[in-house]
Amino acid sequence: GDSVTQMEGPVTLSEEAFLTINCTYTATGYPSLFWYVQYPGEGLQLLLKATKADDKGSNKGFEATYRKETTSFHLEKGSVQVSDSAVYFCALSDQGGSYIPTFGRGTSLIVHP
């Protein structure tokens, strides 16, 4: 079945540091890939997505590239801010399988001033 594996957190960075959160996946079909962000006390919000190989999703300075050859969708940001502190979830939705998305376990990011 489908699965998503994220690096374990928490990831702790200083403001303006470079961020990478790794995400790899296993899917039976041709998935769409997503990153969601969850701020304390809130639901998840879509951060970015990519629907086919080599697509790059980007939003608010975050980027992720759909790499089919390595089955990865790593999240990056060049310079993090304190306000980026949140939990980040990688997810896939497999066109060839169920329309129920598969989520990773989430990675907590803590950014210090």
User: Which residues would be at the binding site for other proteins (CB under 8 A)?
Assistant: 31-32, 34, 36, 41-46, 49, 51, 89, 93-95, 98-101, 103-106
Q: Return d(Cα 95, Cα 44) in angstroms, integer.
A: 22
Closest distance of CB 100 from other proteins, Å: 5
Is the Cβ of residue 46 or residue 53 nearer to other proteins in the bound state?
46
Site of tokens 């992720």: 64
Is the Cβ of residue 41 or residue 113 nearer to other proteins in the bound state?
41
Is the Cβ of residue 40 or residue 113 nearer to other proteins in the bound state?
40
| Backbone conformation region of residue 47, classed left if phi is above 0, alpha if psi is from -120 to 50, else beta | alpha
Q: Return d(Cα 67, Cα 82) in angstroms, integer.
A: 29
Is the Cβ of residue 78 or residue 96 nearer to other proteins in the bound state?
96
Closest distance of CB 34 from other proteins, Å: 6
Closest distance of CB 15 from other proteins, Å: 24
Measure Cα distances from 31 to 41, 68, 106 in Å.
29, 10, 19
Q: Return d(Cα 106, Cα 39) in angstroms, integer.
A: 12
Closest distance of CB 85 from other proteins, Å: 15
